[in-house]
């Protein structure tokens, strides 16, 4: 079965009808709730803190739900699934929003929302490991998180594969296990297909193997009893989000640009992050100003792989691959000087952002600006007009990805002001930058956390020595 992400919730919105209404008096009342307490787990797709604030698919949807209820959101992050579900059982949180799969055992214990999206459960091992063609060929135990949907699935499969063995690990999350595969510390684990795609950019040694379960729904969980009013609110909220296409936008934001994985490119980027970027990081930060410096750095890597002397057969040169005309326009006289090139690229990107129509949301303006940087703002404006003509939204990058390639077809471009444009190239360009940016954020945050950890360790060691004196 073909994997679909964020494509089937519309026909499953009525799945909420399966929940029976309890005849007893329900004390919970959303209208009197002072705060929405949401429990989650750390992860790139669920919840994480960055220099620009909190991010994550589940976090953003929970924030929108709290805004729908007109109450503040309080996020409680737990270290493992056992504590997360215990918190829901004990009434410490109202909802679990943590990229969790609906399973038979969870369905018996909890009430689930309509699906947010669907995933496959996939066997994962390190690149170079002998390809597994059947679960019966696995000799080593599969390491999985305790109390996870993966453990439950392996239990079900064991009736057909009596020699199947697994080891459940407590206090670990999916990304930690993937990192252990990447480092060669364990042989096998199981992960959701979307999590693998997201993390392959950071952990290029992980490889997808057999699919052990298809089309698994990712849902939010509520308490089985005393949640009727809150549950009815989530159904209403789901319906409004579908009508406003919020789900599609969120899926595009978190999963739309991670479809293709290039092992060699990912390895090269991580290597450049460690060896090359430290030299230019202060320059990117200096000239980015109000822009996220990591987006500027990601664009520069896409352009030149952070090589100041880079050149193209088209005549563009330098870290930001500026044309002679653009360099003169932004006041740059030496395109091969790294700082001048970065400064010029930042100025030009800001100009593109300012020239874009006001109707484009702030959170998406950078992607439109980067497309303009690549293909020219005239072609982007042409594509926006074309989007209106074919009943697509000209102000969302999700729809513009569909329209820009049409500028290469005569029946479309002959009616535009600026004519033929290499729209497919522009889409690939922007999505590549988005992948580099996400990887850069992950690596940057990980590096900062490691520095803090080392500083605390050094401080504790110094304190220990002083106490010994």
Looking at the annotation, which residues are catalytic? 303
Q: What values do phi and psi take at 153, rounded to 5?
A: -65, -40
β-pair type (188-192, 117-126): antiparallel
Q: Could you please report the per-residue DSSP string of 306-358?
A: S-TT-B-TTS-BTTTTB-HHHHHHTT-S-TTSHHHHHHHHHHHHHHHHHHS-T
Q: State phi, psi for 77 to the nearest 5 degrees.
A: -100, 125
Q: Which two tokens stand for residue 204?
A: 């290029």
Q: Look at residues 187, 191, 183 and name the one whose alpha carbon lies nearest to residue 165.
A: 187
**Widest Cα–Cα separation across the chain:** 83
How far CA 296 is from CA of 29, 291, 299, 433, 468, in Å, comes to 46, 8, 5, 9, 49
Q: Are 30 and 66 in contact (CB under 8 A)?
A: no
**Residues 274, 279, 280, 281: is their CA dihedral positive or negative?**
positive
Q: List, as own/partner pairs, every contact residues 15-22 make where C-beta atoms lie below 8 angstroms and the sequence separation is at least 24, other chains included.
A: 15/114, 15/115, 16/113, 16/114, 16/231, 16/234, 16/235, 16/238, 19/111, 19/231, 21/228, 22/225, 22/226, 22/228
Contact predicate 321/327, CB 8 Å = no
Radius of gyration, alpha carbons of the chain: 25
For residue 145, the surrounding DSSP H or E stretch is: strand 142-145
- Here the tokens at position 433 are 């930058």
Provide the 10 A C-beta neighbour count for residue 314: 8
Query: How far apart are alpha carbons 94 and 91 in whole angstroms?
Result: 7
Query: b vs e for 357-377, b when ≥16 Cβ sit within 10 Å of the residue's Cβ?
Result: eeebeeebbbbbbbbbbbbbb
Map residue 93 onto helix, strand or coil: coil
- Token pair, residue 268, equals 């090269």
What distance in Å separates the CA atoms of residue 253 and residue 399, rounded to the nearest whole number?
12
């Amino acid at each position: 079965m073909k994997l679909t992400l964020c494509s089937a919730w519309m026909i499953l919105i009525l799945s909420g009808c399966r929940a029976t209404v309890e005849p007893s008096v329900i004390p919970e009342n959303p209208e009197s709730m002072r705060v929405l307490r949401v429990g989650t787990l750390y992860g790139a797709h669920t919840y994480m803190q960055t220099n620009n604030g909190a991010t994550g698919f589940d976090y953003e949807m929970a924030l929108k739900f709290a805004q729908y209820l007109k109450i503040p959101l309080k996020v409680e992050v737990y270290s493992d699934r056992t504590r997360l579900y215990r918190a829901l059982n004990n009434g410490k949180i109202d909802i679990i929003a943590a990229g969790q799969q609906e399973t038979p055992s969870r369905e018996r214990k909890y009430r689930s929302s309509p699906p947010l999206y669907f995933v496959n459960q996939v066997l994962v091992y390190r690149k170079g490991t002998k390809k597994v063609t059947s679960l019966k060929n696995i000799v080593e135990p599969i390491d999985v998180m305790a109390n996870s949907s993966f453990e439950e699935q392996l239990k079900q499969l064991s009736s057909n594969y009596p020699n199947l063995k697994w080891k459940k690990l407590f206090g670990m999350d999916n990304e930690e296990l993937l990192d252990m595969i990447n480092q060669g510390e364990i042989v096998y684990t199981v992960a959701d297909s979307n999590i693998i795609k997201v993390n392959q950019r950071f952990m290029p040694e992980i490889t997808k193997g057999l699919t052990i379960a298809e089309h698994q729904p990712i849902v939010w969980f509520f308490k089985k009893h005393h949640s009727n009013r809150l549950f009815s609110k989530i159904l209403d909220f789901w319906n409004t989000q579908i009508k406003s296409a919020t789900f599609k936008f969120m899926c595009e934001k978190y999963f739309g640009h991670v479809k293709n994985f290039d092992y060699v490119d990912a390895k090269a980027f991580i290597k450049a992050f460690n060896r090359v970027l430290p030299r230019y990081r202060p320059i990117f930060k200096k000239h980015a100003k109000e822009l996220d410096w990591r987006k500027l750095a990601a664009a520069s890597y896409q352009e030149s792989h952070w090589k100041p002397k880079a050149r193209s057969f088209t005549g563009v040169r330098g870290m930001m691959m500026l044309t002679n005309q653009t360099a003169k326009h932004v006041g740059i006289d030496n395109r091969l000087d790294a700082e001048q090139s970065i400064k010029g690229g930042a100025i030009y990107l800001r100009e593109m952002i300012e020239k874009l129509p006001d109707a484009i949301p702030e959170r998406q303006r950078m992607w439109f600006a980067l497309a303009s940087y690549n293909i020219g703002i005239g072609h982007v404006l042409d594509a926006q007009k074309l989007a209106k003509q074919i009943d697509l939204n000209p102000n969302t990058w999700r729809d513009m990805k569909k329209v820009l390639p049409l500028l290469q077809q005569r029946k479309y471009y002959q009616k535009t002001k600026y004519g033929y444009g290499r729209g497919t190239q522009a889409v690939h360009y922007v999505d590549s930058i988005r992948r580099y940016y996400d990887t850069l954020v992950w690596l940057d945050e990980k590096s900062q956390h490691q520095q803090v950890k080392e500083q605390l360790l050094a401080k504790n060691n110094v304190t220990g020595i002083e106490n010994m004196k």
